Amino acid sequence: MIWDRRNECLAREEIEQLQLERLQSTLNRVYRNVAFYKKRFDRLKIGPDEIQNVQNLAHFPLTMKEDLRESYPYGMFALPLREVVRIHSSSGVTGKSTVTGYTKNDLQHWSQLTARVLTAGGVTKDDVVQITFKYGLFTGAFGLHYGAELIGASVIPMSTGNTRKQALIMQDYKTTALVSTPAYALLLARYIEKEGINPQSLSLKRGLFGGEPCPESMRKEIEERLLINATDNYGVSEVMGPGVSAECEHKNGLHLYEDHFIPEIIDPQTLRVLPPGTEGELVLTTLTKEAFPLVRYRTRDITSLDYAPCACGRTLVRMKKVLGRSDDIIIIKGVKVFPSQVEAILLEVEGVEPRYQMIADRVEGMDTLELKVEVNEKVFSDEIKILQNISAEIERKLREIVGVSGKVKLVAPESLQPGEAKAAKVIDRRKK
Ligand SMILES: [Zn+2]
């Protein structure tokens, strides 16, 4: 099922023509209305008229999260506040938050885009959608909420936390679609199992996961435990929130909504644009946003782009599942370690949760890696011998699969990363 067949199935030339027109208009607007961009463009002696084709975008400067923080709170808005009808912010792990604004049109586009995400994940007006993202400044819940209402589904705005109540409502209200982070879906699955609730007695049919990367092994585990079909979707709080890209039923990458965003993949070190198919950092330019347009925003997420046609009929480029963040990759003795690899390993090990923290350090000139991993309640009270076996298994898998040796330290359940997604999974002490 396709929500917006006209715009999701445009011919490649039509997409590029539409992008070019919208890009010219966006660059003109930011040059006129956002002092930050005027200064940047003037310094590089580059103007909105440089754009003859979409590829010319590569000549323009990149925008970083730090730029947004320096313009806190409204410095990069392209319209006066009286035109803005909604304000969200992303807290981030460290430092000042970034603030995003939406006009009425921005909100309409946003609902349209999240309706595309939900429809691609199988949601129809017959679904009962339970949203377990936090309602508040964070973009996740409100973004998908309005898309689900636009489709005509019945929305349960549960917000985060209280797993007991989430499970109860899921049973009683006959929830068919779960909107959550993959980690929370797994937690729910484990809770349901622990309470002796038969997943077959639930009405749940699908899961729509976002907010953090969902490795294939994690998806499989959730699908098997909750007996659902799960799709991955992707968003960036500073760019809009959810509704940037989403998997279709073929699950071979996330269709990125190119009529609203131009994606580029850059080398995070040299900042050069990389050819399609190459892994690198995703950079996004917004094409329709009025209140808070962004030019070449560095998402820090590592992925690659595939322009080959998809069997679903959508012509939109597919981005690979996010492998991790460019600032989360740590290099230990020359080996790149992605958090997603560590998560995949932990999912294979009995007795531990996929909650962890990687700590890189340097001792006498040598890189060291410590991996703190939460064990589950059952194992935590077990004998030392069992805990030692678990540590040894994770250490062995790290060596064999990732190619690094690390020291594993098992910690108590719920002692790492309470609450929200995107807590610090990686600490690099060598940077100090
Ligand atoms: Zn597809």
What are the residues whose beta carbons fall under 8 Å from the beta carbon of 323, sequence distance 6 or more? 213, 279, 302, 303, 338, 340
pLDDT at 431: 67
Measured in Å, residue 251 CA sits from the centre of ligand 1 at 7
Tokens of residue 365, six digits: 């000139």
The Cα–Cα gap between 106 and 115 comes to 14
pLDDT, one tens digit per residue, over 324-352 is 777 777 888 888 788 778 888 888 888 88
Give mean pLDDT, residues 256-285. 96
Interval between CA 233 and ligand 1 midpoint (Å): 13
pLDDT at 90 over 60: yes
Distance (angstroms) between ligand 1 centre and the Cα of 234 equals: 15
pLDDT averaged over every residue in the chain: 92
**Which pair of tokens denotes residue 102?**
């939406």
What is the pLDDT, as a whole number, of residue 333? 83
- Partners of 40 in beta bridges: none
Q: What's the CA gap between 188 and 167, in Å, rounded?
A: 7
Element (H, E) at 47: none
Q: How far is the CA of 370 from the centre of ligand 1 (A)?
A: 39
CA distance 390 to 382: 11
pLDDT at 411 over 50: yes
Q: How far is CA 410 from CA 183, 343, 360, in A?
A: 19, 15, 16
- Residue 298 Cα to ligand 1 middle (Å): 25
Element spanning 312, H or E: none
Q: Cα–Cα distance between 115 and 109 in angstroms, integer?
A: 10
For residue 9, how far is its CA from the centre of ligand 1 (angstroms)?
10
Query: What's the CA-to-centroid distance between 193 and ligand 1, angstroms?
Result: 33
CA of 121 to the centre of ligand 1 (A): 11
The C-alpha atoms of residue 102 and residue 340 are separated, in whole angstroms, by: 32
How remote is the CA of residue 247 from the centroid of ligand 1, in Å?
7
Distance 59 CA to ligand 1 centre (A): 31
Mean pLDDT of 48-62: 95
How many CA within 13 A on the CB side of residue 421? 22
Amino acid 420: pLDDT? 46
Local confidence band at 151 (pLDDT 50, 70, 90 cut-offs): very high
Q: How far is the CA of 100 from the centre of ligand 1 (A)?
A: 30
Please give the distance, rounded to the nearest whole angstrom, from the Cα atom of residue 276 to the centre of ligand 1: 17
Contacts (Cβ under 8 Å, ≥6 apart) of 135: 141, 142, 145, 157, 159
Q: Measured in angstroms, how far is the CA atom of residue 315 from the centroid of ligand 1?
A: 8
Is the pTM higher than 0.85? The answer reads no
Q: How far is CA 48 from the centre of its chain?
A: 30
Rounded mean pLDDT of 269-290?
Answer: 96
With a cut of 80, say whether residue 91 has pLDDT above it: no
- Give the model confidence (pLDDT) of 217-244 as tens digits: 889 999 999 999 999 999 999 999 999 9
| DSSP-derived 3-state class of residue 87 | strand
253 CA to middle of ligand 1, Å? 8
- CA 334 to centroid of ligand 1, rounded, Å: 36
How many angstroms is it from 252 CA to the middle of ligand 1? 7
Smallest CA-to-CA distance from 425 within 367, 333, 338, 345 is with: 338
Q: How far is the CA of 306 from the centre of ligand 1 (A)?
A: 11
Q: How confident is the model at residue 92 (pLDDT cuts 50, 70, 90)?
A: low
**Rounded mean pLDDT, 93-101:** 76
Helix, strand, coil in percent for the chain, rounding step 5: 35, 25, 40
> Which range (259-263, 278-282, 419-423) has the least confidence?
419-423
The CA-atom distances, in angstroms, between 269 and each of 7, 19, 279, 280, 305 are 34, 27, 13, 10, 19
More confident of the two residues 308 and 338: 308
Given a cut of 50, is residue 358 above it in pLDDT?
yes
Which carries the bigger pLDDT value, residue 28 or residue 211? 28
pLDDT of residue 421: 47
Region 202-222: mean pLDDT is: 92
Residues 6+ apart with CB under 8 A from 414: 374
Residue 322 has pLDDT above 80, yes or no: yes
Residue 188 has pLDDT above 80, yes or no: yes
pLDDT digits (tens, 9 = 90+) for 13-38: 999 999 999 999 999 999 999 999 99
pLDDT tens for 242-262 read 999 999 999 999 999 999 999
Q: Report, as an integer, the average pLDDT of 198-208.
A: 98
**156-170, 268-282, 317-331: lowest mean pLDDT where?**
317-331
The answer to whether the CB of 123 falls within 8 A of the CB of 208 is: yes
Mean pLDDT of 205-216: 91
Selected residue with higher pLDDT from 412 and 253: 253
